[in-house]
Amino acid sequence: MYIYNVTSNIDESIHEEWLNWMKQEHIPQVLATGKFTNATLTKVLVTEDMGGVTYSVQYRTNSREDLEDYYNSHADTLRSEGLRKFADKMLAFRTELEIIDEFTVNFTNKFSQN
């Protein structure tokens, strides 16, 4: 399994508009491509020297092929809409992560490996 992580720093002047757009439009559009199983939106809890508010969206996919197909068939169109709407008020970078293993805590306070 893979995680496609997009970290974005958003100017405070458009913060609420961007957050609503992400929740109501962009993330649902990315998921509608059928290339990801779910998405997690998180706020990064650090103060950036450049200011703004930083978020991370983690999209999970089952295969490298689905991720490549997303890049080839959907990424440019979906990215360009954000650039058109928010231009120089947002800065984003992307990271790919491969999940090696996952661990959870069960009710008896013992760790288990998935």
Span 55-110, pLDDT tens digits:
999 999 999 999 999 999 999 999 999 889 998 899 899 999 999 998 888 766 66
Q: pTM of this prediction?
A: 0.87
CATH class for the region spanning 2-100: alpha beta
Cβ density class 71-96: b for 16+ within 10 Å, e for less: eeebbeeeeeebeeebeebbeeeeee
* pLDDT for residue 9 is more than 90: yes
* pLDDT for residue 29 is more than 90: yes
